[in-house]
Amino acid sequence: MAGLSISKAIAQALAAEMERDSNVVVLGEEVAAFGGTYGATSGLLDRFGGERVRDTPISEGVIVGAAVGAAMNGLRPVAEIMGINFAFLAMDMIVNHAAKVHSMFGGQFRCPLVVRTTSGGGRQLAATHSQTVEHLFAHFPGLKVVAPATAADAKGLLKSAIRTDDPVMFVEQATMYSQRGEVPDDPDFLIPLGKSDVKRRGRHVTVVAYSKMVDISLKAAGELAKDGIECEVVDLRSLRPLDLDPVFESFKQTNRCVVVEESWRTYGVGSEVAARIYEECFDYVDAPVKRVAQKEVPLPYAGNLERAALPQVEDVVAAVKSVL
């Protein structure tokens, strides 16, 4: 095990997979000479050369369109989009081509493509550059959506995403790159896609989260423990496939649930989780499922207003106490 930042864990995963498989290529804006916006592709150009690490024009349609074609012809491209907000410019390529090609061609084609991108607020980049919208992409069958919360998960999930034959949106929270954690050195370390993980055991309330909200939820659980309230924190890790078995198992013990997401509450991940709990675990419900989410406004630029709009530890604490 080694202590690594999330950024370094991603870089390590990319380098390991490129070393293992010569079909793995990286493309995107500033991924080569500059080493990536957050340093995740630093050193790859020197190590693997310009044929496999390519800077692209500032055109998300070109980046993902080229990557889809490359994937259909035998390569395993990792395409970087600087922010998920810009992925809207490649929406047609992602959801009408990458996600559907395997089905529409009767299984004759695969599209082993990873689109790495960032998501979330907290950097004062205002409404059009701070959205948390990975759940929109998770709506589409044929497209996997992964959102890690720790350095170890980032490494293990990215390696698995590169190896799968399906297209994957790999979504990294933009303020978490410097967050450190223990990461296995094992070159074969993999975490299967679509497997949730219990990050903290507890018996009073089940807290379901993903990405940065896992960290927020764990901090809230620490505060609640001081009052004798023990939360079980379940990290979804993937939005599609969505593994809710650990959530159901936990809920049948706690009978109460709070779902925490950074996006807006309306039509969000919390809505899906709550609906599935009511469908699968109705006889165990002792209180309404509570949802904690971003305020329903375009995210403000001013730091104090941005913080007020985003879910905070105190919001999770209040929600847990309300269901008790």
Q: What is the pLDDT of residues 112-127, one digit of tens each?
A: 999 999 999 999 999 9
Strands (E), the chain: 2-5, 24-28, 53-55, 76-81, 114-119, 144-146, 168-173, 180-183, 197-200, 205-209, 231-235, 238-240, 257-264, 290-294
The Cα 261–Cα 117 span in angstroms is 18
* Domain assignment of residue 189, yes or no: no
* Domain assignment of residue 144, yes or no: yes
pLDDT band at 20 (very low <50, low <70, confident <90, very high): very high
Judged against a pLDDT cut of 90, whether residue 250 lies above it is answered with yes
Judged against a pLDDT cut of 90, whether residue 284 lies above it is answered with yes
CATH number of the domain to which 272 belongs: 3.40.50.920
The pLDDT value recorded for residue 316 is 98
Report the mean per-residue pLDDT for the chain: 97
* Domain assignment of residue 191, yes or no: no
The Cα 253–Cα 229 span in angstroms is 14
The pair of three-digit structure tokens given for residue 218, joined into one six-digit string: 């764990």
> Same structural domain for residues 167 and 210?
no
Q: Rounded to two decimals, what is the model's pTM?
A: 0.96
> Same structural domain for residues 224 and 278?
yes
For the segment 131-165, what is each residue's pLDDT rounded down to a tens digit? Answer: 999 999 999 999 999 999 999 999 999 999 999 99
Q: Which domain holds residue 12?
A: 2-183
CATH number of the domain to which 55 belongs: 3.40.50.970
Q: Which of 118, 152, 183 is the last residue of a domain?
A: 183
Inter-residue contact 98 to 167 (CB < 8 Å): yes
State the residue for tokens 């809207």: 88
Kindly list the catalytic residues. 60, 129
Question: For 229, which DSSP code?
Answer: -
Residues in the chain: 324
